[in-house]
Amino acid sequence: MSPLRSLVVVVVVVAVVVVIVVVVVVVVVVVVVVALVVVVILKVVVVVVIVDVAVEVVTPATPVVVVVVVSATAAVIVVVTVVVVVVTVVVVIVGVVIIGVVVAAVVVASTTENINIKINNNFEINIYEHFEPLLM
């Protein structure tokens, strides 16, 4: 295996690992955020109920406050989750595209180097001369 091809393998492996790590981190963050928000919602509901029972004043407004807080929090969870998922998808797509471009460039560089196409055995074209400017 030429040094160039081994470099391609290393670059691809590193890029794939980076993409996987990013996805895993994003998933963990989403799970943690959702869990924390759910805990906060439960605490709010429990506190409001306990206060109501302790004071023995069940005002009509209290359930409304709970519903509004819970709804707002749920909305925030949904928005944050959607944003994180979209960002993850974009990062993965960009990562895959970058991997593809790097691989293509290196493969072109490694396969076109020192290759001459002979047409009718007398007209010779050095492909590398044509591709070299693109690779710089």
pLDDT of 31-89, one tens digit each? 877 777 777 777 766 666 655 555 555 555 556 666 666 777 777 777 877 787 778 77
* Residue 65: HSE in the Cβ half-sphere, 13 Å Cα cutoff: 12
* Residue 31: HSE in the Cβ half-sphere, 13 Å Cα cutoff: 6
- Token pair 């759910």 in the structure block, residue: 38
- Let me know: does 15 contact 98? Beta carbons within 8 Å: yes
Q: Map out the domains of the chain as residue ranges.
A: 3-135
DSSP 105: H
In this predicted structure, what is the pLDDT of residue 1? 59
Spatial CA neighbour of 87 closest among 16, 134, 26? 26
